[in-house]
């Protein structure tokens, strides 16, 4: 198995291909690399062209998230109005949206419909235009070009081995060294792929196909319909995996990792990580867990993040707050010094008779005697510490009645990772 990102060998790679919408890839590289802009992901004989969405080097490794196309469909575009007595062309609206966000739509796939004599494009993510005009009827291809319409259906290539199809859950695992034709739309023993996940790891290459959950008999289909009527909110009782597509302050825009789940896209979702006083900024493209309070579709919240081995485990920002104290460790008692804080380096006084400076920090131990020519000492800033002796008992005491002067400084190099107010 070989997987690469911009021709750099990958240690692991995961590609999520949906029947509609945008594909994503998560790639880990050995070594620290800085990549931006256009990206080509290759797994076995499958080649995908997209754009680096987020990621970078960290602790000797690199993690990157790649989005299909130019990454523009997740960007917010301005509102725009259309009017035409003969009917506004859907193709005009779609091409304008693509131009505004930097994406390309294959011209031969554009619809010929006219939604009406006027049409208003809202200020929203560019993909909202697609969902309004061609809901679940568009996708970004492996070449990075957007197409209008459904993906073509296909049969499973010969030589591909797979386990039994779980029709109740709508999934099946495949094993094949050739995956270029294992795409959404492929049919595996009656299960039509809606989501396809390709995973390349040191253990090998594995593909998972997810389709619409179904029932193997008309009786079970009828029972499912009864359950849906009796418990319409059951889809919102568990936790669903979503991907972060946008951020607005502490709120995020989300889309389901697998469209086959039937879960909706979400906007301006709050985070409730379970730890009071804590909030983190999940990177664009990272995966999160979403729950719905009281099983209400109107009350989604982010309840979890990627595990420690996931590329999205480390947030872009992390805030800890408390009204009394924050302890890093159960027995922590020492305060954190901040960049720019004043610090006392001890106290000194001078004896002009002996040309001696005495430094006496009681909290640091015995008196320290430093010998300097008196003419060099004109101000605190002129004090130069030298490699003098540090006797347990100084031979010359400080002049009687001479007050000690604090030798002050500031911390000019602190942690670049931990920040405090």
Angstrom distances, CA of residue 80 to CA of 93, 183, 346, 353: 9, 35, 67, 85
Residue 331 pLDDT greater than 90, yes or no: no
pTM: 0.76
Residue 255 pLDDT greater than 80, yes or no: yes
Structure confidence by residue, pLDDT tens digits, 29-41: 999 999 999 999 9
Q: What is the average pLDDT value for the chain, to the nearest integer?
A: 83
More confident residue, 251 or 331: 251
For residue 347, name the pLDDT band (cuts at 50, 70, 90).
low
* Alpha helical stretches, state H, 206-282: 218-230
Strands (E), 23-68: 24-30, 38-43, 46-58, 61-68
Phi/psi of residue 126, nearest 5 degrees? -60, -35
Nearest to 18 by CA among 141, 130, 102, 104: 141
Amino acid 410: pLDDT: 65
Mean pLDDT of 40-65: 95
Nearest to 355 by CA among 311, 392, 331, 386: 386
Residue 185 pLDDT greater than 60, yes or no: yes
Structure confidence by residue, pLDDT tens digits, 209-248: 999 765 456 666 677 778 778 888 888 999 999 999 998 8
Percentage of residues of the chain with pLDDT beyond 70:
79
User: Are 185 and 23 a contacting pair, CB within 8 Å?
Assistant: no
Structure confidence by residue, pLDDT tens digits, 355-410: 555 554 444 433 334 433 333 333 433 333 333 333 333 444 444 444 445 555 66
Mean pLDDT of 172-195: 93
DSSP code for 216: S
Amino acid 329: pLDDT: 81
Rg of the chain on CA atoms, in Å: 32
User: Are 49 and 144 a contacting pair, CB within 8 Å?
Assistant: yes
Amino acid 130: pLDDT: 97
Amino acid 143: pLDDT: 98
Mean pLDDT of 178-194: 93
User: Are 127 and 109 a contacting pair, CB within 8 Å?
Assistant: no
Angle at 25 between CA 21 and CA 26, to 5 degrees: 140
Query: 53-57, 91-95, 103-107: lowest mean pLDDT where?
Result: 53-57
């Amino acid at each position: 198995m070989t997987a690469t990102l911009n021709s750099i060998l990958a240690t692991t790679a995961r590609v999520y291909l949906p029947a509609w919408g945008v594909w994503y890839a998560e790639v880990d590289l050995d070594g620290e690399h800085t990549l931006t802009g256009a990206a080509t992901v290759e797994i076995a004989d499958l080649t995908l062209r997209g754009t680096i969405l987020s990621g970078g080097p960290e602790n000797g490794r690199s993690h990157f998230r790649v989005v299909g196309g130019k990454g523009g469909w997740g960007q917010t575009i301005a509102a725009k109005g259309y009017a035409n007595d003969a009917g506004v062309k859907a193709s005009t609206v779609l091409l304008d949206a693509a131009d505004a966000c930097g994406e390309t739509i294959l011209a031969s796939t554009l619809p010929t419909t006219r939604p009406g004599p006027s049409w208003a494009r809202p200020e929203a993510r560019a993909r909202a235009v697609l969902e309004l005009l061609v809901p679940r009827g568009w996708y970004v291809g492996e070449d990075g070009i957007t197409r209008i319409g459904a993906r073509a259906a296909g049969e499973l290539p010969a030589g591909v081995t797979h386990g039994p199809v779980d029709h109740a859950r709508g999934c099946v695992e495949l094993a094949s060294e050739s995956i270029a034709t294992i795409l959404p739309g492929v049919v595996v023993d009656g299960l039509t792929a809606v989501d396809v996940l390709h995973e390349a790891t040191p253990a090998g290459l594995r593909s998972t196909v997810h389709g619409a959950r179904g029932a193997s008999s008309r009786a079970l289909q009828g029972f499912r319909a009864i359950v849906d009527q009796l418990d319409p909110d059951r889809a919102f009782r568990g936790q669903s995996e979503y991907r972060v597509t946008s951020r607005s302050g502490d709120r995020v825009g989300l889309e389901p990792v697998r469209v086959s789940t039937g879960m909706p896209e979400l906007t301006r979702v709050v985070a409730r990580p379970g730890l009071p006083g804590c909030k983190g900024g999940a990177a664009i493209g990272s995966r999160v867990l979403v729950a719905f309070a009281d099983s209400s579709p109107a009350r989604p919240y982010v309840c979890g993040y990627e595990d420690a081995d996931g590329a999205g485990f480390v947030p872009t920002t992390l805030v800890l707050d408390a009204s009394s104290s924050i302890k890093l460790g159960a027995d922590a008692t020492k305060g954190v010094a901040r960049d720019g804080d004043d610090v006392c380096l001890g106290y000194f006084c001078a004896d002009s008779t002996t040309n001696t400076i005495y430094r006496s920090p009681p909290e640091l131990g015995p008196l320290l005697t430093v010998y300097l020519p008196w003419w060099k000492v004109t101000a605190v800033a002129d004090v130069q510490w030298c490699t003098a002796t540090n006797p347990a008992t100084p031979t010359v005491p400080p002049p009687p009645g001479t007050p000690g002067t604090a030798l002050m400084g500031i911390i000019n190099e602190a942690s670049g990772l931990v920040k405090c107010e």
